[in-house]
Amino acid sequence: MKVNGTPTRTIWLAEDGRTVEIIDQTRLPHRYETTRLASLDDACRAIKDMLVRGAPLIGATAAHGLALAMREDASDAGLATAYERLFATRPTAINLRWALDDLRTRLAPLPADQRAAAALARAEAICDEDVALNAAIGEHGLAVFRALWEHKGTPDRFNVLTHCNAGWLATVDWGTALAPIYKAHDAGIPVHVWVDETRPRNQGASLTAWELNQHGVPHTVIVDNAGGHFMQHGMVDVCIVGTDRTTATGDVCNKIGTYLKALAAKDNGVPFYVALPSPTIDWTVRDGVAEIPIEDRGPGEVQRLWGRLDSGETAWITVTPEGSPAANPAFDVTPARLVTGLVTERGVCDASAAGLAGLFPEHAAAAE
């Protein structure tokens, strides 16, 4: 997508053909800054401190991190250490493990002196594949939106609610949940997006709103608790979110608060879709609530907020009284029964083992 009119991805190979550049997402929306990852340390820090975030982009950055690590130490021990260090950065998004497993499987049989080049080539391919997967999700999601919009009695506005940031900033390009929104907007469907602010880190208010602004998509930022109200008043035509890990049975793990939106959508008869590329499916997990590890990011993100002061300076402010503890689970699980459909690169399916196995028969055994 474009930043100030210039086509831009979230991660790209630097001119030296070796290091990679990323957008530092901790500075948005108030500052657009890029930074360079030149080592395994840099890649681990970028993921852990959320300079990059969003499941597909975490996977792509991990792939490049492993490629950078192979330039430092391409021995078997170096490969094992790099895998472990990158794997430990964040626990919930399965794309991290998917990308690391993919690279390790390809690199392990190679002689050490071939590993750096092979890793870089595969990391670049993973980035390109992510763009293609998300573009396909966009087309399938567009068909869903078009059908809902054409069925609607008042076609002058099509209201979509989304939570967190599942846009191009969360992927290499296009995004997952936002890809259909961009495609619908470009196709002339009068899309308006309700953007959940997404406390505590405000990925909706800071990142999704910034993206939509850049592309000129009409939107309104709302507090996380407003969605149910708008649904009750017929002001949400569809919800669509991304996911950090979807089980073989269709349970969806996504940013904290997604579950409550799905409950409100069910109560109000609003379709609730989840957009995901297949590397986000964990075919080894069947019960999302019981089995998916939920990241705990500590109390600081709840107690404090980052933003711009009237002076133009950016600053942290404290919102809780001293001495009040805070809890901060970063994700929750929406059971498959609350999900209307999964929008994947191969099409739309029921959020169920049968639905996923129908689209991905090569994984059917795991989904049974």
Residues contacting residue 229 through CB under 8 Å, at least 6 positions apart: none
Residue 292 in contact with ligand MRU, rule: CB under 6 A: no
Which listed residue (42, 102, 196, 244) is catalytic?
A: 244
| Rounded-to-integer distance, Cα 69 and Cα 54, Å | 22
| Rounded-to-integer distance, Cα 180 and Cα 174, Å | 9
Residue 164 in contact with ligand MRU, rule: CB under 6 A: yes
| Rounded-to-integer distance, Cα 274 and Cα 351, Å | 9
Amino acid identity at 35: T
Active site residue 102: no
Beta strand 34-37 with 219-222: parallel, antiparallel or unpaired? unpaired
Count the residues of the shown chain that bind ligand MRU, applying the rule CB under 6 A. 18
Residue 224 tokens, joined: 């996380």
Stretch in the footprint of ligand MRU (CB under 6 A) among 48-56, 149-157, 226-234, 350-358 = 48-56
Residue 344 in contact with ligand MRU, rule: CB under 6 A: no
Residue 47 in contact with ligand MRU, rule: CB under 6 A: no
Q: Which is nearer to ligand MRU, 330 or 333 (CB)?
A: 330
Residue 170 in contact with ligand MRU, rule: CB under 6 A: yes
Q: Which is nearer to ligand MRU, 116 or 133 (CB)?
A: 133
Q: Which is nearer to ligand MRU, 119 or 238 (CB)?
A: 238
Site for ligand MRU in 132-161 (CB under 6 A): none
Mark residue 210 as left, alpha or beta (left: phi above 0; alpha: psi -120 to 50; beta: remaining): alpha
Stretch in the footprint of ligand MRU (CB under 6 A) among 53-61, 69-77, 184-192, 259-267 = 53-61
Site for ligand MRU in 243-262 (CB under 6 A): 243-244, 254-255
Output the residue with the shortest Cβ distance to ligand MRU. 242
The least distance separating ligand MRU from the CB of residue 213, rounded to whole angstroms, comes to 18
| Rounded-to-integer distance, Cα 176 and Cα 165, Å | 9
Residue 86 in contact with ligand MRU, rule: CB under 6 A: no
Residue 320 tokens, joined: 């809780």
| Rounded-to-integer distance, Cα 277 and Cα 244, Å | 10
Residue 171 in contact with ligand MRU, rule: CB under 6 A: yes
Q: Assess contact for 103 and 122: CB atoms under 8 A.
A: yes
Residue 214 in contact with ligand MRU, rule: CB under 6 A: no
Q: Which is nearer to ligand MRU, 152 or 304 (CB)?
A: 304
Give Cα 273 to chain centroid, integer Å.
Answer: 14
Q: Tell me whether residue 232 is annotated as binding.
A: no
114-153 burial: b if 16+ Cβ within 10 Å, else e: ebbebbbebbbebbebbbebbebbbebbbebbbebbeeee
Q: Tell me whether residue 90 is annotated as binding.
A: yes
Residue 166 in contact with ligand MRU, rule: CB under 6 A: yes
Residue 60 in contact with ligand MRU, rule: CB under 6 A: no
Residue 56 in contact with ligand MRU, rule: CB under 6 A: yes
**Of 159, 176, 206, 246, which one interacts with ligand MRU (CB under 6 A)?**
176
| Rounded-to-integer distance, Cα 78 and Cα 97, Å | 17
Residue 61 in contact with ligand MRU, rule: CB under 6 A: no
Residue 183 in contact with ligand MRU, rule: CB under 6 A: no
- Quickly tell me which residue has 């690169």 as its tokens: 345
| Rounded-to-integer distance, Cα 325 and Cα 299, Å | 7
What is the 3-state composition of the chain as percent helix, strand, coil, each rounded to the nearest 5? 45, 20, 35
Residue 89 in contact with ligand MRU, rule: CB under 6 A: no
Site for ligand MRU in 302-341 (CB under 6 A): 330
Give catalytic residue positions. Answer: 244
Give contact residues for ligand MRU (rule: CB under 6 A): 53-56, 93, 164, 166, 170-171, 175-176, 203, 242-244, 254-255, 330
Q: Write out the binding residues.
A: 53-55, 90, 203, 254-255
